[in-house]
Chains A and B, each alone.
Chain A
Amino acid sequence: MAVVRLDQLCKRYGALTVVDQVDLTVADGEFMVLLGPSGCGKSTTLRMIAGLETISSGQLSIDGTLVNNVPAKDRDIAMVFQSYALYPHMSVAENLAFGLRRRKIDRAEIDRRVGEAARILGLEALLERKPAALSGGQRQRVALGRAMVREPMVFLFDEPLSNLDASLRVNTRNELIKQHRRLGSTMIYVTHDQVEAMTMGTRICVMNNGRVAQIGAPLEVYWQPADTFVARFLSHRQPDHPDAAQPLGPGSPGTPGWPAGHPGRAGRRSASGPGPVRRYRTGPSAGPGVRGRAAGRRDPAGDRDRGGHRLYGPPAARHPRDAG
C-alpha cells in the first residue's frame, strides 16, 4: 500500500508535450481513475508511473520515495494491460508465478499465492492451459491474477475492460471493485469510459490535452465540473455502452454508495421528468466564441437527454472513442 504523488509531471517528445505539469496525489488505498478522451495523455501518465516511459520533468514519488530514475522492474508496481499481455508460451500457472519467481520468493509461498489467486478468480481448472486456449474473460482474470499474486504497493490498470464484450465488461468491473475492497490497495485505473469512471473510482482525474482538467469524487466532478470540457465529457451518454439501456444509480452493482438525498438520486429520478438545468461558463479549452447552456435530464452514469448535446456539435464527433 502506498501514496503515489505526481508533482508537475511532464512528458515531451521533442517539441510535442503529451503530459503537461500533472499534479496528482493518490491516497493510500484509493481507487483513482484517470479519465479522458483518447490522446489526452492518461495512458502516458500511467506508463510514467509504471516506469515504462521516462519522465521529461517533474517528480514522481511512491510512498515518499522519489522514483523518477528507478527502473520499472524495481518499483514494486503491478500493471494490467489492455491486451492482457499474457506470456503465450507459458501456462496460466506459469504466467501467475512468473513475477514471483524473479523475486526469489519461496516455492511454497509461490504455490500458495497462485492457488489463492486462482481460487478467488475462478481459475483453478485452467491453471495448466495456455493463454491461447482461454476466452477473453478468462485471460482478463489471469492478467488480474498475475497482478494480485505480486501483492504490489500499487496496481495500475490500462483500459483493462475495453477488449471484453458488453456483459463481461460489467461482470469484470464488479469483480475489480470487489478485489479493490478486499485488498484495500492503491489502484490507478485509466479509461475513456465515463461509466467505468463513475462507478469504480473513489476519485476521478479528468484529463484533457495532457493537462489535468479536474480531480474529485465522481459526483463532485459530475455536478460541479470545472469547465465545459469536463461537463461535456461526463454528461455524454454512450449509446453503444452496455449500460446505456440500464442507467446505473444507487443500488446498482458496483456503484459507490451514494447517500439518500444526494443529487445523484435526484438526478436519476429526474430522468422521467424535466431535468435540472445548469449553466456553465466556457473554460479556456472550449475555444473562442463558444458559450451557451447545457440543458437536459441527466444521470451520473451518463443517462441524459440527447437534446442537451446540440450545443457541442454532432454526437459522433464528440464520442470519446472517436476523439484524436
Chain B
Amino acid sequence: MAAIALRRGLGRSALALVIGLYTIYTAAPFLWLATMSVRTTNEISLDHYAWPHPFHWEQFRIAWVDSDFATYFWNSTIVVVGAVAIVTLVGSAAAHALARYRFPGNRLIYGILFSSIIFPPQITLISLYQILVDYDLYNSLFGLMLVYISLQLPLTIYLLESFFARIPQDLFDAAKMDGYGDLEIFIRIVLPLGMPAIATTLILNFIQLWNEFLFAVVLITDPEKRTLPIGIRAFMGDHFQDIGMIATGVMISVVPVILVYVFFSEKLIRGMTAGAIK
C-alpha cells in the first residue's frame, strides 16, 4: 500500500514539475514584457531584467493619449471585430450550405476553398493591393476589413464544414417536421450545436487578425488609420528603439486577445457542450 502511495505521489510530483516548468516557459516572457511596460527605455537599457522601481504607470497614459494608441486601438477594434463578425456569420452559413445541401458544384466550391488554404496568403498581396487601388479601397479601414474577411473565410468554412457535417440529418428532419424552415433551422439548430466549433474559429480569427501586420502595413498609409501592430512599429526607428514604449503598446494590444480567449474558450464552450451531440 505504502509503495503504491509513494509511486502515486512521485507521479504527481513529476507531473507538477512538468506543468510548473511549462508554465514558467510560457509565462516568463509575458511577465518580462509586463515589467518592461512600466519601465522607461533608459531603465531597461541599464538592466534588462530588473524589477520595476518605481512603476512608471504613466507610460500607459503616454502611449494611449500622446502616442495615439487610442486611435490605433479603435482602428484595430473596428476592423478586426467587423471582419471576425462577418467571417463567423458568412463562414458558418456557407459551411452549413456545403455540409447539408447537395447541389451541383458543391464539391467544386469546397475544393476551390480548400486549395486557397494551401497557398501562403502573401502571394495575393500585390494583386490585392492593385484591386483595392482600382476600387478606391486602398488606405481605408473598410478595404482592410474586406481583405481580412477574404483571408480568414476559407479556413473558417473548412473547419466549420467538417464539424457541421457531423450533426445528424435526423435533427434537421425533426426540425422540419416541427414546422421550421431552412433559415430558422440554421439559427436554432446549427448555430447552437456548432457553437464549440464556431467559438474556436472565432478565437483563431480574432488572434490572427488582431496581430496581423503584413497586409495592414502595405494597405494602410495614413497614420490615423493605423492598426495596433503598425502603431507599435512606429516606436522602432532606424537608430533608436523605444523598448519601454513598445512594451507598453504590446501590453495594450495583448489585453483584448486575453479577454476574447478567456471568454470564448471557457464560458462559451463549457456552456454549449453541456448538451452536445452524442
Contacts and interface: CB of A to CB of B under 8 A. Distances in A.
Interface stretch (B170-178, B206-214, B262-270): B170-178
Interface of B: 168, 170-171, 173-181, 184, 189, 192-193, 272, 274-278
Contacts of A81: 170, 173-174
Contact of B177 (A89, A99, A130): A99
Contacts of B177: 50, 52, 72-73, 77-79, 99
A208 to B, nearest CB: 25
Given A88-B193, A88-B277, A88-B278, A51 B174 contact: no
Contacts of A99: 177-179
B171 A85 contact: yes
A85 B275 contact: no
A86 B276 CA distance: 11
Most chain B CB inside 10 Å of its own CB: which residue of A51, A73, A89, A99: A89
Contacts of B184: 102
B276 A88 contact: yes
B174 A132 contact: no
A99 B170 CA distance: 15
Contact of A102 (B168, B180, B192, B193): B180
Contacts of B189: 87
SS of B interface (majority): helix
Given A73-B181, A102-B179, A87 B277 contact: no
A52 B173 contact: yes
Contacts, number: 73
B187 to A, nearest CB: 12
Nearest to A133: B275
B173 A88 contact: no
A316 B105 CA distance: 43
A16 to B, nearest CB: 16
A103 B179 contact: yes
10 contacts: A50-B173, A71-B181, A79-B174, A85-B173, A89-B193, A89-B272, A102-B180, A102-B184, A103-B179, A146-B174
Contact of A132 (B176, B180, B192, B275): B275
Contacts of A79: 173-174, 177
Nearest to B274: A130
A47 B173 CA distance: 9
B168 A85 contact: yes
Interface string A135-179: 000000000001000100000000000000000000000000000
A32 to B, nearest CB: 18
Given A85-B168, A85-B174, A146-B174, 19 more contacts: A47-B173, A52-B173, A52-B176, A72-B177, A73-B177, A79-B173, A83-B168, A84-B170, A85-B170, A87-B171, A89-B275, A98-B175, A99-B179, A102-B180, A102-B184, A131-B275, A132-B278, A146-B178, A150-B178
